[in-house]
Amino acid sequence: MKILVINGPNLNMIGIREKEIYGTRTYPELVGYVERCAEDLGLETEVVQSNHEGAIIDFIQEAYGRYDGIIINGGGYTHTSIAIMDALKAVEIPSVEVHLSDILSREDFRHHSYLSMVCEKTICGKGFEVYREALEYLAKK
């Protein structure tokens, strides 16, 4: 089983930005964590990141016919991007939305997620562990 892990804007800055929310572990540490978790579960993964909405849409569209699942942390686009939601809907690949922080306990604008409207599951507020839970969920499909 092949899983594409897509990380959106500013995820590359974890460990630097808002440490009280995102902690001190870095983006390369996150990628290594995801890769180890996937290996433990016998899954193949590719981890990508972009700060650009169009690139994220391209990742999703290019996943069609190549991946069995998508894990997406849309960053700020979670709350604004109908286009990313539509791309996920178009490819019809089982998808899980993840967030390092608990978006429901943060600012009101973070409470709405376009991604959750098309993803099978949303996991948030558990730091890096959200990626393991998402991998485990998709592994059972």
Region label for 83, one of left (φ > 0), alpha (ψ between -120 and 50) or beta (otherwise): alpha
Spatial neighbors of 87 by CB under 8 A, at least 6 apart, are 56, 57, 60, 61
Per the residue annotation, which of 33, 64, 67, 99 is the catalytic one?
Answer: 99
Active-site residue 33, yes or no?
Answer: no
Q: How far apart are CA 100 and CA 134, in angstroms?
A: 12
- Joined tokens for residue 97: 């939305």
Active-site residue 131, yes or no?
Answer: no
Asked if 99 and 125 touch (Cβ cutoff 8 Å), the reply is yes
Asked if 97 and 72 touch (Cβ cutoff 8 Å), the reply is yes
CA distances from 43 to 22, 32, 139 (A): 26, 14, 7
Per the residue annotation, which of 22, 67, 77, 114 is the catalytic one?
Answer: 22
Report the residue count for the chain: 141
Which residues are known to be catalytic? Answer: 22, 99
